[in-house]
Structure 1
């Protein structure tokens, strides 16, 4: 009976898991398909089939929004397509999440994930088209001043014009690889997959097995942790009657379970890519998540077939999570860099680098990240409060940890890791509880203590930093006077 209850409660997640596993399994067959056009059409049809299976009637949301976004790209032209597409896709995302207010059935969480990926792809390719046009136009104006790409230590963001036709935009938006839950990859990566020989010669099976081997552990830990420490218990009277230490540490268990869920989903998503060969590039390109090769890209495109057979490859381009780093990194700033890296790359490329008001770049990036996740209060509490913790963390990092060595560095590292982990867990509770009333119930039960701790740490850190700055010139001056007296 318990098993049946569990299956019925998590039926959509179970179907989603099997579809991810199916996407991994068919990669080797998809990779071996004949012509490029056949491969593109099969990938698109598979993607649309997955959308229909997952979403049913609600499949019209990702299909309608994606096709309309693609038409906007083509109709508005290269100069304004990125802005028009951005506002349309995010406006549709709001409508999609409020569908029940307009008489439509509210989509499931799984359909929401697909819609989120469609938004990333359609908006992302619009910014690629516009960004490449701007970069190439600028390069032509300064052609005589530019050195060749081969002499540069790092490639420019855009090295050639990106201008896909209408059909290729459809293929990119709906290809099954990465459609269910990511990772995000550029149109350039998608185009290279079909035009360059790398996917034929990389050891896709070896990479996929290596990526998949930890998934059973993540799923087992998720099931165990979510059973032992369920989310709803945090709102119960029984929880409120437990000791303050228990209430304070309960979010650690919730966030640990949540991380296992994310790790398993992201790892399976990466395996879909490795199985099909998407995102494979020679290691000499110093490949970065989302972006692809950062060094010598044009040279890699001209690599002879014989060299491609023997070169060493990696799948860094589609890597979303660095699991071990997520668990062990000392600071929140570093933790953010290794969490959902592909989406972070998209936010940086589309929002942070392109936002016109420099002082508001960070706030714009955070705001877009929040509304992409959803409009629940929990996302604001979780994501938008990060900078306040970072302000305090950066001070202590520079004052005490950065130049520490030996045992002192290890002790300080553990303290900073504990504080970082506790902060993430406290914020994750809001992310999971979602609505303001539920968040308020839990935070009130622990007297909103962590915000008080943040504020105290920040004020103390500012005072210590000021004292350090005031003492530093005095130390230098005294050292200089001592040196002069020795010279005399």
Structure 2
């Protein structure tokens, strides 16, 4: 089987996939029969995977078949952990296979598809586990007993904390083998994201016709076209003038230090824009299909879905459309350009980027009981390492994600130990320098190391700019420590008087 990637560049292949999603998304919304809609989303998705991956479609089949068997055949409490372990181990095998076999072809879409399938499989396993626990608890209460497995909508997973901000809209029935296969191979977001939970997919499949017909999907798309146009201009126009390929040439390193140091600015803008374009187009396909749409009163959030819900509200829409009903598409929104640009810190900028996957990481890694009680920095580091491993075994991923934690930690120290102690005039200068180095250069460096990928290319560049943002971060930590020590020796009354003046 010869994949289409042999004839189509990978970037164009992604565009083709999201174009199909937008076109067929509207058709999906019009299908009345639930089983027909499931089958249609499955067949289109499987066709896309087969067409763009060739023989490597076997990777997705192995992931889905074994993962589904574990979910359906294992009824003990360790089931979701087993699925988590299997999914990530197979993801690691998939990434490593490119080093010891010729079967892997980085030109096709198999890597992107495996990325999405890995976290979807883990998520549906925990959703099923939560459903079983709630059912067991309800049966126990009905029999006059309490088995302590959790209640209501607490999502009391055996390795997930039960903080309110991590509660999710639960399943109202356990999915069948066919349901899980359809969810995993659903053509919407396959290989491109954004990520969405099984419950979100379920609600799209069961979207009633009295809601799907008047759904303002086109209006939602039109409202976001201006930002998409800006992203396309930056991506295409900037790509004609700047590129990572230049950074791999000898001529690049003959340029001045300042040219090399600030070259990450356009690389960051171009890279972020390209991902933004793909995600925006994918979201348009979601909107056309009705995936991720909920009443605004349910206050849905990216990845997580509805946050304002209560027992017995599985009838999301009701039989009649309420006058003035407002719709929300936030469940599948993956990037917030304006909020990201205006965020004041390096760390907060990333909160508005790849938001659906960030929810997955926050829910399954950051809030995991495995790290309960651990310092925030340790949880950040755990999230960064899982993110890097999830992406693969190219050095650039580790410089980007693990390095991001180091830079964020340095920024926190700099702001709290140095910035907070400056007077108003000095703070203006400090904020400008901080924005340039951490926001602009920092974000650009993240995307640059991610794009350069190989250890030799990353290290060659970093060495030529005295390790760039990592050098800045190290200097910030040293300055913060010195400032903290010096100010600890000065009487507090003197510090307050000088800061006021």
Regarding TM over 0.5, the answer is yes
Given that residues 134 and 152 in structure 2 are in contact (C-alpha distance below 8 angstroms), is that contact kept between their aligned partners in structure 1?
no
Match runs of 1:385-464 below 5 Å: 385-398=403-416, 412-420=430-438, 421-464=440-483
- 2:314 and 2:487 map into 1 onto residues whose CA distance is 52
Q: Over residues 174-231 of structure 1, what are the superposed CA-to-partner deviations in whole Å (9 max), with x where a residue is unaligned?
A: 1111113111111111122233535444311211233345434423321222221121
Q: How does 1:66-465 map to 2 (within 5 A)?
A: 66-100=64-98, 101-134=100-133, 141=146, 156-157=167-168, 163-197=174-208, 198-298=211-311, 301-302=314-315, 303-308=317-322, 310-358=324-372, 359=374, 360-398=378-416, 412-420=430-438, 421-465=440-484
Give 1:131 deviation, angstroms.
4.0
Distance verdict in 2 for CA 1:232–1:476, change over 3 Å: closer
Q: Which one of 28, 48, 51 corresponds to residue 50 of structure 1?
A: 48
- Residue-pair matches, total: 469
Work out whether residues 136 and 161 of structure 1, in 8 Å CA contact, stay in contact via their aligned partners in 2.
no
**CA RMSD, Structure 1 to Structure 2 (Å):** 3.3
State yes or no: 1:16 paired with 2:34. no
CA distance in 1, matches of 2:266, 2:358: 25
SS in structure 2 opposite 1:112?
helix
Deviations 1:357-376 (A, max 9, x none): 33343332221111111111
Q: Decide whether aligned partners of structure 1 residues 298 and 466 sit closer, same or farther in structure 2, where only a CA change above 3 A counts.
A: farther
The 10-residue stretch of structure 1 (396-405 or 329-338) with the greater mean CA deviation from structure 2: 396-405
Give 1:291 deviation, angstroms.
0.9
- Report the secondary structure of 1:177's partner residue: coil
Determine helix, strand or coil for the equivalent of 2:192.
coil
Displacement of 1:428 in angstroms is 2.3
- Asked if the contact 2:418/2:480 (under 8 Å) is kept, the reply is no
Q: What is the aligned partner in structure 1 of residue 35 from structure 2?
A: 37
Deviates more, 1:437-446 or 1:274-283: 437-446
CA shift at 1:129, angstroms?
2.2
- SS of equivalent to 1:98: helix
Q: Partners in 2 of 1:9 and 1:49 — Cα distance? A: 17
Tell whether the 8 Å contact from 1:31 to 1:277 is kept in structure 2 after alignment.
yes
CA contact (8 A) 2:50 2:57 kept: yes
Q: Give the secondary structure class of the aligned counterpart of 2:320.
A: helix
Please give the secondary structure, in 2, of the residue aligned with 1:106: coil
For structure 1, the residue ranges without an aligned partner over 5 or more in a row are 1-6, 479-488
Classify 1:411/1:448 alpha carbon distance in 2 versus 1 (closer, same or farther; 3 Å). closer
1:443-479 Cα offsets, whole Å, 9 max, x none, are 122232433321121121233345556668657999x
Partner of 2:158: none
Quickly say closer, same or farther: Cα 1:307–1:429, change in 2 above 3 A: same
Question: Once the 2 structures are TM-superposed, how far is the Cα of residue 111 of structure 1 from its aligned partner?
Answer: 1.9
Q: TM-score, normalised by structure 1?
A: 0.86
When you count helix as a share of all residues, which structure comes out higher? 1
Q: Which moved more, 1:102-111 or 1:396-405?
A: 396-405
Distance in 2 of aligned mates of 1:29 and 1:123:
29
Distance across 2 between alignment mates of 1:467 and 1:259: 40
1:405–1:457 distance in 2 versus 1, CA, 3 Å? closer
* Residues 32 and 9 of structure 1, relative CA distance in 2, 3 Å threshold: closer
Residues 425/138 of structure 1: CA separation in 2 closer, same or farther (3 Å cut): farther
* Other-structure match for 2:160: none
Q: Return the offset for 1:429.
A: 1.9
Deviates more, 1:409-418 or 1:318-327: 409-418
**Distance change (3 Å), C-alpha of 1:108 and 1:147:** closer
For structure 1, which segment, 457-466 or 247-256, has the greater mean C-alpha deviation from structure 2 after superposition?
Answer: 457-466
Change in CA separation of 1:134 and 1:410 when aligned onto 2, cut-off 3 Å? farther
Contact 1:50 1:176 in 2 (8 A): yes
Normalising by structure 2, report the TM-score: 0.84
Q: CA deviation at 1:417?
A: 2.2
Superposed CA offset, 1:69-109 (max 9, x none): 11121122251221111121222222222334245242435
Query: Contact conserved, 2:413 with 2:476, CA < 8 A, in 1?
Result: no
Distance 2:201 2:489 in 1: 54
Q: 1:131 to 1:470 in 2, by over 3 A?
A: farther
